[in-house]
Amino acid sequence: MSHSHFLSALKGENKLRPPVWLMRQAGRYLPEYQAMRKKYPFLEMCHTPELVKEVTMMPIKRFSFDAAILFSDILMIPEALNLGLRFEDGVGPIMDRPITSKEQIDSLPDIEMSVFSFIQEAIGLLKKELKVPLIGFAGAPFTVASYMVPKAKQFYLKNPEAFKKLLDRLTDITIDYLHIQVKAGVDAIQIFDSHLNLLSPKDVQEFSYPYLERIFKAFPHVSTILFSKGSHWPQLGHLPSKGLSCDWTQNLSEVRKAFPKKVIQGNLDPEILFAPKERVAQYVKECVEQMGGDPAYIFNLGHGILPNTPLESVETLIKTIDDLAFARSL
Ligand code: CP3
C-alpha cells in the first residue's frame, strides 16, 4: 500500500489533508448497489464473499475515499445465534425469534466460529485488490442487544442481570468475530454503538462501557474507533479505543481539548448532503476547519450516509476537502 492518509491519521501523524470515508458508504445510496440488490437478497449478498468484495469496492471505484469499509452488517451475530433475522424492504431488520424472556438468554446456542468463514474469505479477496486500507467492524453489545430484545430498556430495567448475561455473551462472540477479521487482514476496526443516545450516563456506565472496554482491551495492537450517537463522549473518551467518532451534535474541538491523544472522526450531519452544492461545500469546509489541520483527525459523517443522497454531494464533499488542502499548501 502506498502512502495512506487514513493510516497516518490513525497514528496521529497526518500532515496532509484529512482522510475521508463515510459510514455506510458501501450500499443503499449507490445505483450500482440498488442494481445488484434487484438480483440478490441482502443477506445472501452478505454471505457471498465475491459479492461482499464487489459491494465494498463500489464506493472506492466511484469516489476517491481513503478507506474502504467491509460490506456486512452488525446483525450477523444475532443471525448466527439463530434469532431468525430477515430484512423486509421498507421496514428494516426483523427477528422472527426475538428475546423476550430470561430463559431464552440462558439457552442461546453456542456458535461455531466457522459460521463466519464468509467474512474471512471476503476480507482475503479484498486485501488482494484494495489499494486503500480496509475497515472491519462489529456492533457494540448494547446496540446489538437492542435489536435482539424488543423494548430493550424495559427489559433491562426488569431483568438487569439477565440483560448483562446477554451483553457478556455478545461481548465474547464479538471479540472472537473481530479476531477473525483482524487475522484475515483488516487494517482498522470500528465499533458501532449507534443506539447509545437512548441511555443516561449512568446506564451507559452499567450497560455499555464495561463491555466496550473488554472489546478494546482485547485489541491493544489494532487501530480501533468507537462510533456512538449522543453526547456520551466525556465518558467514552476514557475507553482504550484509539479513536472516537462523533455525531454532529458534538463540538469536535471540545472533544479534542478533553482528549488530546485520541484520534477524532466525524461529524457532518448526513442531511447536509441534501443541501445545494454551495451549502454542502460551506458545511464541509467548516467541519474540517474546526479541526485546523489536526494530525489525528479523520473526516466522516456524524452517522451513516442516507438513502437517496445525491452522488454529486459526495463529489462536492471530497473536492471541497481536496481544495482546502491545496489552499493550505500555497
Ligand atoms: O458502512 C458500510 O458501508 C458497510 C456496511 C454496513 C451495513 N450496515 C450495510 C447495510 C454497516 C457498517 C452497517 C452497520 C449497521 N447495521 C448499523 C450501525 C450503523 C448505523 O447506521 O447506525 C446498524 C444499526 C445496522 C442495522 C441495520 N442494517 C438496519 C437498521 C438496516 C435497515 C436500514 C438500512 O440501513 O437500510 C440494515 C440493512 C443494511 N445494512 C443495508 C446495508 C447496505 C441495506 C439493506 C438493503 O439493501 O435493503
Q: Residue 327 above 90 pLDDT? A: no
Q: Which of 74, 189, 301, 309 to mutate to test the pocket of ligand 1 (most atoms within 8 A of CB)?
A: 74
Question: If you measure from the C-alpha of residue 24 to the centroid of ligand 1, how many angstroms do you get, rounded to a whole number?
Answer: 7
Q: Is the dihedral of CA 38, 44, 45, 48 positive or negative?
A: negative
The pLDDT of residue 248 is: 98
* 24 carries an active-site annotation: yes
Under the banding of pLDDT at 50, 70 and 90, the label for residue 325 is confident
Tell whether ligand 1 has an atom less than 6 A from the beta carbon of residue 37: yes
pLDDT in tens, 202-243: 999 999 999 999 999 999 999 999 999 999 999 999 999 999
Between the CA of 13 and the centroid of ligand 1 the distance, in Å, is: 31
312 confidence band (pLDDT: 50, 70, 90): very high
Q: 21 CB under 6 A from ligand 1?
A: no
Q: Does residue 330 carry a pLDDT above 60?
A: no
Q: Is the whole-model pTM more than 0.95?
A: yes
Q: If you average pLDDT over every residue of the chain, what do you get? A: 97
| CA 75 / ligand 1 centre spacing (Å) | 9
**Closest Cα to atom 23, ligand 1: which residue?**
74
For position 274, what pLDDT does the model report? Answer: 98
At residue 46, does pLDDT exceed 60?
Answer: yes
Out of 21, 57, 73, give the residue to mutate to test ligand 1, the one with the largest number of ligand atoms within 8 Å of its CB.
Answer: 73
- Model confidence at 329, pLDDT cuts 50, 70, 90, reads low
Kindly state if the Cβ of 247 falls inside 6 Å of ligand 1. no
**Structure confidence by residue, pLDDT tens digits, 134-170:** 999 999 999 999 999 999 999 999 999 999 999 999 9
Q: Rounded to the nearest whole angstrom, what is the distance from the C-alpha of residue 25 to the centroid of ligand 1?
A: 10
Residue 324 has pLDDT above 90, yes or no: no
Q: Does residue 17 have an active-site annotation?
A: no
Type of residue found at 19:
P
Query: With bands split at pLDDT 50, 70 and 90, how would you rate the model's confidence at 326?
Result: low
User: In this prediction, what percent of the chain has a pLDDT beyond 90?
Assistant: 96
pLDDT of 174 strictly over 60: yes
Mean pLDDT of 171-187: 98
pLDDT of residue 328: 64
The mean pLDDT value for 117-124 works out to 98
Q: Is 156 considered catalytic here?
A: no
Per-residue 3-state assignment (H helix, E strand, C coil) for the chain:
CCCCHHHHHHCCCCCCCCCECCCCCCCCCCHHHHHHHHHCCHHHHHHCHHHHHHHHHHHHHHCCCCCEECCCCCCHHHHHCCCCEEEECCCEEEECCCCCCHHHHHCCCCCCHHHHHHHHHHHHHHHHHCCCCEEEEEECHHHHHHHHCCCHHHHHHHCHHHHHHHHHHHHHHHHHHHHHHHHHCCCEEEEEECCHHHCCHHHHHHHCHHHHHHHHHCCCCCCEEEEECCCCHHHHCCCCCCEEECCCCCCHHHHHHHCCCCEEEEEECHHHHHCCHHHHHHHHHHHHHCCCCCCCEEEEECCCCCCCCCHHHHHHHHHHHHHHHHHHHC
Give yes or no: 256 in active site: no
What is the CA(330)–ligand 1 centre distance, in A?
40
169 part of the active site: no
Catalytic residue among 66, 73, 193, 247: 73
- CB of 87 within 6 A of ligand 1: the answer is yes
Distance 73 CA to ligand 1 centre (A): 6
